Amino acid sequence: MKPARRKTPAKKARPELVVITGLSGSGKGTALKVFEDLGYYCVDHLPIDLIPKFAELALDSPNIRSAALVIDIREGGNLTRFPAVFKKLRNQLAARLVFLEADDDMILRRFSETRRPHPLGSDRSVLRSISDERQSLAPIRALADHVLDTSRFNVHELRRSIEETFRGESVEGKMMVYVNSFGFRHGVPLDSDLVFDVRFLPNPNYIPEMKKLTGRHPKVAAFIRSFEQTNEFVKRIGDLLVYLLPHYIREGKSYLTISIGCTGGHHRSVMIADEVRKFLASAGYHVKVTHRDMAK
């Protein structure tokens, strides 16, 4: 009898660490928020001496699969040690360096609009500070895996650029869609982004054997589905949402709440909400359905 073969434990995937750096006023704070929306564990202005310890914790933690942090000119003289620290990091985990920059005129304009002082201080002009900062960051820029010139980017375009580079799955897969059925007699849900009224459909409430059932009962669902306008509505609303959702994603929304209402929230809205959920799920979106008033 052959001895049982031991199972080889699965190798733990290497954690990913993204370091964001670059010129002041180039959009590092905005970039960090994008990574946070993508599910990264994010830290702003982590001291360089703590980066190796942070990387060690990321290696050991089962809860951190990807992380992003910002380091910049605020580190002062310690910044000169970063290239050596980052080279060691690349041997420990999947580390990538993103360097953001913009032309002088755009950075000057951004500082003028925000009226914030340059981190290098107010004892010199902003233009001189930008020049000194470029010089100080040059060795770090040379190590960058990705250099983004944000001069012509607005907030949404910067988000899109980062998502296209770092998103590990489809755009659809990262958007969470909440489909909620409700009854107008109980009020429209306050967190609704889009509201659809299905009171134009025939109401099962007036059929005695269906009155106490809900839209999830096969008999009720079959009754509502038996009308041509029902199938036409689901198809049209589904196509509309599949068209709209990528545009919401490009504008920075990571979730969307769609509310579908009938009179009491028991029959028509419940059935239609379930159908919309199926339609969007088949299009690749993460969809969660709730029926607020079904039990009332």
Q: Are residues 81 and 201 in the same domain?
A: no
Query: Chain-centre distance of CA 201, in angstroms?
Result: 36
The amino acid present at 180, given as its one-letter code, is N
When mean pLDDT is compared over 73-77, 110-114, 121-125, the highest value belongs to: 73-77
What band does 7 get if pLDDT is binned at 50, 70 and 90? very low
Cα 222 to Cα 214: distance, rounded to the nearest angstrom: 12
Cα 114 to Cα 109: distance, rounded to the nearest angstrom: 9
What band does 14 get if pLDDT is binned at 50, 70 and 90? low
Give me the CATH number covering residue 150.
3.40.50.300
DSSP 3-state of 102: coil
pLDDT in tens, 265-281: 999 999 999 999 999 98
pLDDT at 191 over 50: yes
The amino acid present at 236, given as its one-letter code, is R
- The distance in angstroms from the start CA to the end CA of the chain is 64
Which residue, 276, 256, 257, is CA-closest to 215? 276
> Which of residues 168, 184, 218 is at a domain's end?
168
Cα 39 to Cα 37: distance, rounded to the nearest angstrom: 5
Please indicate, yes or no, if residue 6 is contained in any of the structural domains. Answer: no
Residue 136's domain comprises: 16-168
Q: Are residues 197 and 143 in the same domain?
A: no
Q: What is the pLDDT of residue 110?
A: 87
Q: Are residues 187 and 270 in the same domain?
A: yes
Q: What is the pLDDT of residue 275?
A: 96
Q: Are residues 57 and 180 in the same domain?
A: no
What band does 13 get if pLDDT is binned at 50, 70 and 90? low
Cα 90 to Cα 17: distance, rounded to the nearest angstrom: 9
Query: What is the percent of the chain with per-residue pLDDT over 70, rounded to a whole number?
Result: 92
Tell me 7's DSSP state: P
Query: What is the percent of the chain with per-residue pLDDT over 90, rounded to a whole number?
Result: 50
Tell me the mean pLDDT in the region 102-126.
Answer: 84
Q: What is the pLDDT of residue 33?
A: 92
Please indicate, yes or no, if residue 198 is contained in any of the structural domains. Answer: yes
